[in-house]
Amino acid sequence: MARVLLERLEKRWLGSDKNTLTDINVQIPDGEFWVLVGASGCGKSTILRLIAGLEQPTGGQIYLGDRCVTHLPARERDVAMVFQNYALYPHMTVAENLGFGLKMRGMPRAEIGDRVQAVAKSLSIDHLLHRTPPQLSGGQQQRVALGRAIAEMPKFFY
pLDDT in tens, 28-84: 998 888 888 999 888 998 999 999 999 999 999 999 989 999 999 998 988 887 877
DSSP character at residue 47: H
**Confidence check: pLDDT of 87 > 90:** no
Spell out a b/e string for 85-124, using b for 16 or more CB atoms within 10 Å of the CB, else e: ebebeeeebbbbbbbbbbeeeebeeeebeebbeebbeebe
DSSP character at residue 94: H
Largest CA distance in the chain: 53
